[in-house]
């Protein structure tokens, strides 16, 4: 590594950049890019599917519009930004991913339970889909909360 010599015109930023380039990269955490890309694709699909479900589903139309506009779409947008940040190796993407997944659970669990209790049509399908979504969201939340992800990004 080149030593800093006073009077050579090197600034702190230049020395920091040179030091960054010489540091060894840690190995990628297992599944990092897979989860980041799945989050990007999944959140990108949630937006048109939510709009289609809200428009096409005649049962609970007002409720679906309120839940979609107030919670599902905002959490999908936060998830999109988080996934893009994680793909670009930004540390703040981990925090956004945790926030987006927590928002998904905070809305999805009560909505799924209320929908199963109040609507008899498609109750088994709702139970299976809700359970799978809760399981996948919880698994992703646990993954992004791992300290090894934070160490890797910082």
Q: What is the pLDDT of residue 21?
A: 52
Q: What is the pLDDT of residue 150?
A: 86
Chain segment 12-67, per-residue pLDDT in tens: 445 545 545 555 566 778 889 999 999 999 999 999 999 998 888 888 888 888 88
Chain segment 62-100, per-residue pLDDT in tens: 888 888 889 999 999 999 999 999 999 899 999 999 999
Are 59 and 121 in contact, with CB atoms under 8 Å apart? yes
Let me know the angle formed at the C-alpha of 73 by 68 and 74, rounded to the nearest 5 degrees: 120
* CA separation for the pair 71, 69 (Å, rounded): 6
Q: Can you give the residue ranges of every domain in the chain?
A: 30-153
List C-alpha distances in Å: 124 to 7, 81, 108, 128.
75, 33, 16, 6
Indicate the average pLDDT of the chain.
85
């Amino acid at each position: 590594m080149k030593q800093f010599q006073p009077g050579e015109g090197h600034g702190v930023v230049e020395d920091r950049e040179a030091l960054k380039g010489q540091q060894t990269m840690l190995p990628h955490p297992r599944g990092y890019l897979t989860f980041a890309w799945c989050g990007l694709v999944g959140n990108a699909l949630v937006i048109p599917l939510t709009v289609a479900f809200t428009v096409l589903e005649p049962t609970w139309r007002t409720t679906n519009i309120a839940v979609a506009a107030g919670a599902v779409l905002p959490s999908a947008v936060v998830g999109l930004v988080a996934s893009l940040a994680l793909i670009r190796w930004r540390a703040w993407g981990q925090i956004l991913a945790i926030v987006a997944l927590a928002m998904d659970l905070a809305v999805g669990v009560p909505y799924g339970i209320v929908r199963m209790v109040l609507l008899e049509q498609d109750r088994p399908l709702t139970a299976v889909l809700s359970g799978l979504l809760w399981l996948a969201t919880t698994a992703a939340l646990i993954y992004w909360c791992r300290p090894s992800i934070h160490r890797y990004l910082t």
